[in-house]
Amino acid sequence: MKDEIRNYTEPEKFLESRMILHRFYKNISSGYMLVQPLMKAENLLPDQYADLLKLQYILVTCLRCVTDLNFMQGSDAFNRPRLARHNICEVLRSITDTLNEILFIDTDIHIDFQHEGEELFTELDVPRVEYILFSIIENSLLYGPKDVKIVLRLKQKDKHIHISVKEKSSAIAKQDFEALFDKYKRVTSGTINPTVRQGLSLALAKQAAEEMDGALLAENQKTGLKLTLILPCRGASVGAKDNPYTLEPEKIYMVFADYLLEKLKKQAEQAGLPVPTDI
């Protein structure tokens, strides 16, 4: 048994399993996208709508499992730097546009990207930056108001890049703010849903920022929670050649699976259908 476990920690087995997971979540995501327009079809019978809703819930649950497996497999690789030159404005615009077009369609939720000045190029660990921003945004979606508005702002200060994510809502209680980065901490006030337990996302996001020689800071403002990712500029210059970046829609469905599951449960409640349960 120990030999079998050791075999799956070898680089070849590691890459093979990652490829299998990648193909799996691509196929499951495609299935989810195909079901979406069917649910909006005219003359759809209640039983058909209920079956499609249940099918979507099953698909997203599978994506949630893939997220856990992918994180466990990538924990070792995640600790190694993966720096490459990117146009950080392009990266943030792609994230914003994809979320609005894919995740927030048919909702009152919206995210804006704001940046003044020239395009900014820097050596960037994109997977870590994605993970941090997605963790912050998902936190707002799960625990913030149902029509939350999010502003993503980019600034360069001295030799650092500041990426702030501002949730337009209201301040949270002092004791809850102080526990914001604690693992598995339940908060009970402000815009946070007291029935949901906060997990590891923000704690790990802060850790990921520190692994990039950066920081993740929080401000408890009257107009809502603001989190700022501060990263050092590495070879930043204006007009330099960069690596193209495009956020795959399939990745959005996998990363935001928890939010999609809650969204499907609410759809079932509004339609007067049995609320899907975890599989």
Between 240 and 182, whose confidence is greater? 182
For the CA atoms of 215, 216, 220, 222, the dihedral, rounded to the nearest 10 degrees, stands at 100
Sheet holding 215-221: strands in order across? 110-115, 149-157, 160-168, 224-232, 215-221
Instruction: Give the C-alpha separation, 42 to 252, whole Å.
Output: 27
pLDDT > 90 fraction of the chain, expressed in percent and rounded: 15
Joined tokens for residue 176: 């809850």
pLDDT of residue 252: 85
Task: For 23-61, write each residue's pLDDT tens digit.
Answer: 777 788 888 888 888 888 888 888 888 899 889 888 888
Query: What angle in degrees, to the nearest 10, is found between the helix axes of 11-38 and 46-78?
Result: 160
pLDDT of residue 228: 94
**Mean pLDDT score, 140-160:** 86
* Six-digit token string for 102: 């894919």
The CA–CA distances, whole Å, from 248 to 127, 193, 241, 255 equal 13, 30, 22, 11
Give 276's pLDDT tier (boundaries 50, 70, 90).
confident
Q: How many residues does the chain have?
A: 279
For residue 46, the SS3 value is: helix
Lowest mean pLDDT among 13-22, 80-89, 166-175, 217-226: 13-22
Query: Higher-confidence residue: 69 or 178?
Result: 178
- Cα 23 from Cα 82, distance rounded (Å): 22
Question: Distance between CA atoms of 121 and 234, rounded to whole angstroms?
Answer: 9
pLDDT category of residue 184 using cuts at 50, 70 and 90:
low
Q: Average of pLDDT values for 64-83?
A: 58
Higher pLDDT, 75 or 176: 176
Classify strands 84-87 and 121-124 as parallel, antiparallel or unpaired: antiparallel
Which residues, 6+ apart, have CB-to-CB distance to 39 below 8 Å? 49, 52, 53, 56
Q: What angle do CA 101, 102, 105 make, to 5 degrees?
A: 70
Query: In the predicted model, what is the mean pLDDT of the chain?
Result: 77
What residues contact residue 181 under an 8 Å CB cut-off, 6+ apart? Answer: 202, 203, 206, 216, 218
- Return the higher-pLDDT residue of 97 and 84: 97
- Give the model's confidence band at 154: pLDDT under 50 very low, under 70 low, under 90 confident, else very high: very high
Q: What's the pLDDT score for residue 229?
A: 95
